[in-house]
Chains A and B, each alone.
Chain A
């Protein structure tokens, strides 16, 4: 099971003076069970790229497949394939539309033809998944929620559809550190429990190294690097700076310590692993 993009190019407003090439001959395959992070400068094409993963945008040239179904076709099979990809957009407030949180989350399952009883169960499950208390929130207007809560409603709406793939476009922008951690806990939970594929667009190098097992670096509409996050951050720091990216702070700190003579393993990816290494060095349990 996989999502496959073959030689995709995409031009916005083709044939007008505002024509803009956003993707340039991109090919990539994302397997179910992978956790893929995508980083790249603003305007590099990340959002355009991920909107090809569920057929939301139709490539100007090239082909997109979900589980071997060609998205260019019509009919139930194509619809079903597209529905297997859940998308949480960059601005969740654009995704939310119903009068109550319940109605918003129920929309997808209802559309799929579930009975009201089944819908209610799916909504309850999805809300508990994202830690939104059913009694407190089900009947609230989603528009009066905080940014973090709104994003959780958007995620719950996607979770209720039981997708095979979950695509998140900058889900942590504007969230405080704790709200961010809560959302990622939920995503990791879903990833592990249901063995789905996750695609995460982010501006945070920390998130990429902490959560993903594969990292794509996009620049000017092309994928310029594709490897394990640790490998990319270890081997391509200059290239990343050249394309407006960076390496995680902990990689810099560990490197400064190494230059001062501390021998530290190459496997440091966060504060926890750095602390463990320093303790080992100093013989502290």
Chain B
């Protein structure tokens, strides 16, 4: 884990507000992500998460500062093609991302588009569908799938292009509990088994627990950056950023406030259970 895949230097993004005044949706952000990391990004609505995500595959260009993807500058038009191959995106609404009438055709759409030789496409599509656990549905119509299944097809449509990094912008926001679990386990698997760098935006704090690193955005800046333990043990500050801690961390912090002696870094159910009822 040494190679840098994403490097932001003083990245600023300006939008115009309702009164046509410019404001920074990203404000001098510095960030370095290494190849193979699983990074969760959390933050209140409007804190700049999606704007950040869009810079990572050059859908947006920096107003100030630089954004390097595998060493390629996103503000250089020449790099666009290679950057889009390096960083794949998955968005919130599964229904807007599926274009074809059959699952396998949908996944084949990307490779066909970039001119992958025909004989290579089929095995790649099959491998991608297998990775997300949707091979059995290769011949199905996407609109008959559940939300979680559609989102996994969208992920297959991204990884079939063999990106080094995949950015998911609230992929579980519209899913039911089972769909959410399917996505989190699919993503963890991609990261562990294929060493794909994962950047995962979510409002579900428990999902962020699966990451190696959690970044908290607040008003266009990075407010916290650390392991889940380092970030989620700050229950009080998280509230100020419009967020919350996972249940176990919240319970632990209130018990500590009430005078119980507990480890401040408890963030998972297992840790809390072990702390309250030690098994010998």
Q: Is A175 engaged at the interface, CB distance under 8 Å to the other chain? A: yes
Does the CB pair A257–B277 fall under 8 Å? Answer: yes
Stretch at the interface among A25-33, A124-132, A243-251: A243-251
Given A245-B176, A282-B260, A175:B255 Cβ within 8 A: no
Task: Report Cα–Cα, A140/B92, bound state, in Å.
Answer: 26
Contacts of B148 in A (CB 8 A): 42, 244
Cβ contact of B247, chosen from A146, A262, A271, A284, cutoff 8 A: A271
Contacts of A41 in B (CB 8 A): 146, 176, 178-179
Known: A253-B273, A271-B250, A271-B254. A176 touches B45 (CB 8 A): yes
Taking a contact as CB atoms closer than 8 A, the residue among A140, A175, A244, A275 that contacts B254 in the complex is: A275
Task: Check if B113 is an interface residue, CB within 8 A of chain A.
Answer: no
- Residues of chain A contacted by B9 (CB below 8 angstroms): none
Contact of A244 among B18, B176, B258 (CB under 8 A): B176
Q: In the assembled complex, which residues on chain B have CB atoms less than 8 Å from the CB atom of A257? A: 273, 276-277
The listed residue (B43, B45, B92) touching A148 by CB distance below 8 A is B45
Residue contact A175 to B251, C-beta cutoff 8 Å: no
Instruction: Count contacts between A and B, CB distance < 8 Å.
Output: 113
B251 touches A275 (CB 8 A): yes
What is the CB-to-nearest-CB distance from A276 to chain B, in angstroms, rounded to a whole number? 9
Task: Identify the closest chain A residue to B177 (Cβ).
Answer: A246
Instruction: Place the interface of chain B in its size category.
Output: 35 or more
Which of A174, A176, A262 is B277 in contact with, Cβ under 8 Å? Answer: A262
B160 at the interface (CB under 8 A from A): no
Q: When the two chains form their complex, are residues B279 and A260 in contact, meaning their CB atoms are under 8 A apart?
A: yes
Chain B residues lying within 8 Å of A278, measured Cβ to Cβ, are 251, 255, 276
CA distance A39 to B175 in the complex (A): 12
Interface size on A, residues (CB 8 A): 42
Given A146-B46, A176-B242, CB of A42 within 8 Å of CB of B273: no
B44–A274 touching, CB < 8 Å: no
A174–B269 touching, CB < 8 Å: no
Instruction: Indicate if A111 sits at the interface (CB-CB under 8 A).
Output: no
In the complex the two chains form, is B254's CB within 8 Å of A174's CB? no
Could you give 6 example pairs across A and B, Cβ below 8 Å? A42-B146, A42-B147, A176-B242, A253-B247, A256-B269, A271-B254
> What residues make up the interface of B, taking CB atoms closer than 8 Å to A?
17-18, 43-46, 92, 146-148, 170, 173-179, 203, 205-206, 239, 242-244, 247-248, 250-251, 254-255, 258-260, 269-270, 272-273, 276-277, 279
The 10 closest A-B pairs by CB, nearest first: A260-B277, A244-B178, A42-B147, A178-B242, A246-B177, A177-B244, A176-B44, A174-B173, A275-B254, A176-B242
